[in-house]
Amino acid sequence: MYSAADKKRTTQVTISTLAKMKREAEKIVMLTSYDASFAKLCSDVGVDVILVGDSLGNVIQGKKTTIPVTLDEIIYHTNCVMNGNETAFVIADMPFMSYANLNDGLDNAGRIMKESGAHMVKLEGGKELVELVKAMAVRGIPVCGHLGLMPQSVHKMGGYKVQGREQEEADHMVAEALALQEAGIDMLVLECVPAVLAKRIAAELAIPVIGIGAGVDCDGQVLVLQDMLAITPGKRPKFSKDFMAGAGSIAEAMAAYVKQVKNKEFPAQEHTF
């Protein structure tokens, strides 16, 4: 069982670290962060991976979707995170339309890696990204994929809805995940998909699969920091949890999240589709 004594890392988390964690069935803990102070707290409490998500459009900028977030904003916030981070692996989202074609995708991913110091970039999409992922992989750019509910496509999807409920949709998502892995992604995020489908994808892929609203059987979990601290305005997503309830500090709440993910206590059934 994971305990508070295990939380402080002394070495940098790498892609190899995360691959080893999957092989050894140790849960990976990911949390969003957008500034140096929270990045430092993430490191202190044992968060393995920090995601500088385009969710900053919602929780930092107060916008209704992630679509308006710019490349310069992602680079700025990732720089802030890198200044506070000590040992966590840092992933930066590529914002809407920053990888609409291969050349733009390579150029903008290169900018993120060079100017922010991020360890990996994240893209939303399936088989249509295969050639871009291949091109990034051969140029040494680590890539995290993202399937299921894809916030950058919220208007096309008709809202924030669970994806992959029907068998045909589920099979298609599995095929897309395998295609992305073959192309060269090193990690995959599954958002708002049924737990049984997420379990199937995690079992079929050799790379770490991180869930958000995708059940406990993923290789790890990610939440938006403001959601789990219960400071996001409006209704909290079903898949999140108020970790501030009963905590004496923000650090305690974050440490509770780490512990519960590591011990497979979160997500529970009530956070699962």
Report, as residue numbers or ranges, the catalytic residues.
191
d(CA 254, CA 257): 5
Nearest Cα to Cα of residue 187 among 230, 216, 144: 144
Nearest Cα to Cα of residue 147 among 205, 225, 227, 229: 205
Cβ neighbours, 10 Å, residue 110: 15
DSSP-derived secondary structure letter, 60: T
d(CA 67, CA 98): 11
Helix (H) or strand (E) holding 174: helix 167-183
- Pairing relationship of beta strands 28-32 and 49-52 according to DSSP bridges: parallel
d(CA 163, CA 41): 33
Cβ neighbours, 10 Å, residue 33: 28
